[in-house]
Each structure stands twice: as structure tokens, then as C-alpha cells.
Amino acid sequence: MRQSQLFTKTQKESPKDEQSINAQLLIRAGFIDKLMAGVYSFLPLGILVLEKIEKIIKEEMNNIGGVKVLLPTIHPKEIWQKTNRWQYPEMFKLKNRSGKDLSLGWTHEEIITPLVKKFVKSYKDLPFFVFQIQDKFRDELRSKSGLLRVIEFIMKDLYSFHSNEKELNNYYEKVKKAYFTIFKRCGLEKYTFLTLSSGGAFSKYSHEFQTITPFGEDEIYLCPKCKIAINKEIIKEEKYQCPNCKNKKLEIKKAIEVGNIFKLGDRFSKAFNFYFKDKDGKEKLVQMGCYGIGLGRLMGAVVEIFNDEKGIIWPKEIAPFDVHLIRIENNQKVKKEAEKIYQILNKEKIEILYDDREDRTPGEKFADCDLIGIPTRIVISERTLKNNSVEVKQRDKNRFKLIKSNQITRYVR
RNA sequence: CGGGGCAUGGUGUAACGGUAGCACGAGUCCUUUGGGAGGAUUUAGUUCCAGUUCAAAUCUGGAUGCCCCGACCA
């Protein structure tokens, strides 16, 4: 993409109505825009990052057999009354013109369960796994910290359906692994820990994936040996020790929940009379699990961790582009060479943001480049062309190298 | 929902109750071109509603919005 086509602009100063690093940097760099508290637009750069995260999640969901669907956002009251969740305080409610009660989706157990019930009659139809990536709405009393806690957000929710508990447990472990892979690919491997937490109304425990960051709203007790944590919310009721090795020297850390997995058991199959005929000829309740990841929150958490005084430092796999090509001079020779490199990299399917703006000084281009945070920077100028070279620098390093123009593709890969 | 703070051009900030100023941005022209460049010129603002006052960005009351702390949080 040519930067001259990018309608957004960077800002030198942080907006004064944002305190969190993720909001400040993402707004300054032109990834997001705030419409109101807890509601953000994703601008061209922002949606590219979101799509990268989405791609990773989709791939890892497919790897564990997930099948993608898209469920409705607007729901009738009746379906929520069946599970006694119509009164849930975080649910946005509205009425249509005729006075019919409706709500905006904040989770989708009530939708997916009666839906799949239509297709599942026998143990032979089980197990299977359905996910979607869709907007969720939650009427939070206090949204905060930029993308970390909002009232409208894109979430991946996976639902699994099994004929018995053992099968559910096995799949639950599989999802755990897939989640670790997702967070690893997003660059959060060293910062994200499986955390034992409350199971809410459905089971005694659930598991969260907590990413350590000072702006996190949760406190977790982390076992440095096992790399497993316990959420503060359950530590009161439980013994103060690692669930794995029983170690009592746990480190207290601020963290943000980037994922959550639940065993639902028969909570919803019971509410919707979702039975199947088992091998033994008996009608049994389907066992369910659900598994969520907030994409925007994940993006915000990444920015909270990967930044310096100049701007964002995107992990490779979720950067909006692979390469930021900066052209210093506007003379024909440099333009021609820059254009050539832009074309070559494009042909090689290397995603590239080409700063072809003519009315910007070098200092401004470098500042924008650091702020936006694309992993690899390539500079082309009169100076580099003297050696038939371009200058290549990684965002997270200070050193740069001169590379011969004809070897650029190999180097960037 | 309880508590605290803040509200001035697009952005960031000044102004004792008495002329709304500065910087960035944006526009035009010229000069510049390896770390947010220089000159000339132009542009655009007091959140809203009431009150006090000869006079309100400034004081008072209310509303609204945003941020932070807490509570809440499938």
C-alpha cells in the first residue's frame, strides 16, 4: 500500500483523554479512533492487524476441527428467558417498533445450542466444534484502558458438543494447546499464562489465559516453576499454592485476560432439551464447552507490551505490514528505484507500506515509521543508491545494514 | 453504581472577573530534503443550560462528556 493513499494521519501528541499506552499509541499512529467511551473504530492500519489476528485464530481453530459460522447479533427475548439470563445486567436491551423485546448478543450459547440441536440426533453426530468471529456487546459499568475493556468488541467464540464428559475434557485440553499457539503466534508467549479461575455458574473452575501487563485489571498468583497461575478472585476460597506443584511462593502480577475456556457441561443442553440417542439406545444430554478470545483486547495487550518511547513495535505475525519502505528524496532516480523495489516486493507477496509522500521531510517519515511500528524498515535514498543498496533496519534494533538492491527479497524473507 | 479529576481551534496547551494567545496541524507561496526543517501569509476555539455581574473561558448551580480509583464482570 502506498502511504499517500492512507487517509489517516499520525499525531505528535497523545490525546489527553486517554491514559493507557495502547490507546495513546494506537490513536496517535492512526490504528483506531474513539467514538465514545468503550467504542472504537478500526482504521485501515488497525483492521489489518485485526485481520492478522483473525487469520491466526482461524487457522488454529481449523487445526482442532473448528467449523466457522456467523450467528445473529440481534436476539429475541424468549430465547434468553429459557436460560434465565434475560435479566443479565450487562445485556443491552432494545425494542423494535412494535414493542418486541430484543437484545444485542453478549455471548451465544442461547443461539448456538437450539441451532445445532436441529441437526444432532445420534451419538454418531458428535462430537463437533463450531466457532464464529463476531461483534459482542456488553453494557459495562466502566469501560477503560483503551481496547482492554470496551462495550463493543470482536470476539472469537468456539462451542464444542460431545456425547460424554471424558470427550469434553479431552477436547478442552486440545483447545488449551491451540490457545497457547495462538498467543505465541501473536508474540505473547513469554507473557501469557494459564490461570485457574472461577467457573461462574457452570462449573467450579474455568481457565483463563492471562497476559502480564501493568495495565491489566486482574491480579494473578503465578508459580514461577510451573508457569501456571491462580486468579486472585478464587484465591480467597482456595489454598494459596500452585495447583500443580503445590509451591507456595507465588508471584503476584497484574494481568489482562485475553482468553477464557469453560466446560459448560449440560447447563445449556438441559435448558434447551438438547438430547441425543447414545450407543446404548438411551437419550442423553449433550456435553458442551465454550472458549473465547477477544481480538481487540488481544491487540491492545500486544501494544501494552511491545512499545518504546517512539511508538509501537509489532510482533512479526500480526504487524499491519511486513516492510515499511521509506523514500527520502523525490528525484526521478530515487523514485524509480523505490518504485521498482515496491513492485518486486509486492510480487513476492511481501506486504509493504511504501512511504511515497512527497511533502514530508525525512525526519517526519522516520518518526511516523517508528510510531506505526512495522517490523522491517527499508530506506532508499540518493545516499544508499550510490552503493546500489538500500538500508534495512529492524524496528526493535538500532543497527542497520546496507543491502544490495538485487538481494532485497532474500533478505526481507 | 460509589468516589476523585478534567472540559478552550483538528491536536496539545496559555489567559487576575475586563483584547481569547502560543505551538503543532491544515491552506497558499518561496527556500529546504537522513530524525517531526526555515521564512512569508491564511485558517480554525471557550461542552451545554441557567444564575451572579456594567462585564464570565474565569465565580455559582445544574446537565453532559471523558479519564482515573473502587465495586461489578461468562
User: Nucleotides of chain B within 7 Å of a protein C-beta?
Assistant: 1-2, 6, 11-13, 24-26, 32-37, 65-74
A114 three-state secondary structure: helix
**Rg value, chain A, Cα:** 24
Tell me how far apart the alpha carbons of residues A216 and A255 are, in angstroms, rounded to a whole number: 4
Gap between the terminal Cα atoms of chain A: 18
CA of residue A83 to C1' of nucleotide B74, angstroms: 13
**What is d(CA A396, CA A391) in angstroms, rounded to the nearest whole number?**
15
Averaged pLDDT for residues A141-146: 94
Calpha distance A97→A376 (Å, rounded): 53
pLDDT value of position A203: 75
Q: Tell which residue, A88, A169, A182, has the closest CA to residue A131.
A: A182
Per the prediction, chain A carries an average pLDDT of 95
Q: Which of A165, A161, A98, A160 is nearest to A124 (CA)?
A: A161
> pLDDT tens, A305-336?
999 999 999 999 999 999 999 999 889 999 99
Taking the C-alpha atoms of residue A288 and residue A129, their distance in angstroms, rounded to an integer, is 10
CA distances from A309 to A8, A69, A337, A370, A394 (A): 21, 41, 32, 9, 16
Q: What are phi and psi of A392, to 5 degrees?
A: -120, 135
pLDDT of A201 above 70: no
CB-based contacts of A51: which residues, under 8 Å, 6+ apart? none
Amino acid A39: pLDDT: 96
Distance in angstroms, CA of A402 to C1' of B48?
A: 58
Chain A 249-268, CB < 7 Å to strand B: 260, 262, 264, 267
The pLDDT of A205-228, averaged and rounded, is 92
Q: What angle do CA A388, A392, A395 make, to 5 degrees?
A: 165
Sheet with A352-355: strands ordered across: A352-355, A323-327, A376-380, A389-394, A400-404
Residue A382: nearest nucleotide (C-alpha to C1'): B34
Share of chain A above pLDDT 90, in %: 90
Q: Is A68 helix (H, G, I), strand (E, B) or coil?
A: strand
Residue A243 has pLDDT above 90, yes or no: no
Grade residue A233 by pLDDT with cuts at 50, 70 and 90: confident
Q: Is the pLDDT of residue A288 over 70?
A: yes
pLDDT surpassing 90 at residue A236: no
Q: What is the pLDDT of residues A365-397, one digit of tens each?
A: 999 999 999 999 999 999 999 989 999 999 999
The enclosing H or E element of A113 equals helix A109-117
Q: Measure the CA–CA gap between A70 and A237, rounded to whole angstroms.
A: 39
Kindly report the backbone phi and psi dihedral angles of residue A152, in degrees, each rounded to the nearest multiple of 5, phi listed first: -125, 125
| Residue A129, beta-bridge partner list | A66, A160
Per-residue model confidence (pLDDT) at position A43: 96
Residue A267 pLDDT greater than 70, yes or no: yes
pLDDT band for A234, please (50, 70, 90 cuts).
Answer: confident
* Average pLDDT of span A100-115: 97
Residue numbers in A 341-400, CB below 7 Å of strand B: 361-364, 366-371, 379, 381-384, 391, 393, 400
| A288 in Cβ contact with A161 (< 8 Å) | yes
pLDDT for the residue numbered A383: 92
Instruction: Provide the pLDDT for residue A394.
Output: 97
